[in-house]
Structure 1
């Protein structure tokens, strides 16, 4: 069996699944605990949806919402860095699944 290994600077992150809608290919979850929240965020909410692409493939649409603790200001640069890391993870998973189609059947 093939395994995907992904390294992270974070030691621990806890996710909470909020919704899975198989009919609309939508998945909502929150990061609710862990060092990724850096003691400045209550949580990070993610919504991911897959839609049909014009070439017969799929397009992944993802949005995130950062919930700061109190009146802490979140810098746009920090959000950009986080999004780039998330895209890197997505690309790693996509590459693995494309190379190992039996891994998800």
Structure 2
């Protein structure tokens, strides 16, 4: 098994608690509002929403993926951290990727906003290599989604306080 890890940091003008509430705690509803052409549904299929729970995200037809299932590994509301693993679905490209883990930490920035730090780890089957272009394409999609959530929060200053 090969392991490829990618780290990124994205600054935001939104304070950590508010961003965490929107981006993590209410993501199931907010992602559908922010990107209705991408997300068809996000549903809890096992558990209570805490560690060990499994969620299924279904995408609209014609997109790169049909669905993914992810397992919540840890969630810490006080420290604004969240981790989950993609355990099933199109993103795991049969025979190439066994699992993808994602760790998110939202920290306060000196300017009063926050910094979203994420670590994405791809566990490949055998010696399969993931091309940098694939990782960069995923990063770009995630960045657009994050900026969409940030724009929603800026346009709705009373939401998620």
Give the TM-score category using the shorter length.
0.7 to 0.9
Using CA pairs below 8 Å that are at least 6 residues apart, which structure has the higher relative contact order?
Answer: 2
Structure 2: give runs of 5+ residues left out of the alignment.
1-29, 39-62
The number of residues matched between the two structures is 104
Partners of 2:158 and 2:85 lie apart in 1 by 28
Residue equivalent to 2:70: 15
1:74 correspondence with 2:133: no
The list of structure 1 runs, each at least 4 consecutive aligned residues, that deviate by more than 6 angstroms after superposition, is: none
For the residue of structure 2 that corresponds to 1:38, the secondary structure is helix
Structure 1: give runs of 5+ residues left out of the alignment.
none
Residue equivalent to 2:87: 32
Partners of 1:27 and 1:55 lie apart in 2 by 23
Partners of 1:30 and 1:92 lie apart in 2 by 23
Residue equivalent to 2:154: 98
Deviations 1:42-97 (A, max 9, x none): 11111110111111111111111111122212112211111111111111122122
Contact 1:6 1:89 in 2 (8 A): no
Q: TM-score, normalised by structure 2?
A: 0.58
For the residue of structure 2 that corresponds to 1:96, the secondary structure is helix
1:13–1:101 CA distance, 2 compared to 1 (3 A):
farther
Partners of 1:43 and 1:90 lie apart in 2 by 22
Deviations 1:2-31 (A, max 9, x none): 833251531101111100012211111111
Q: How does 1:37-76 map to 2 (within 5 A)?
A: 37-39=92-94, 40-76=96-132
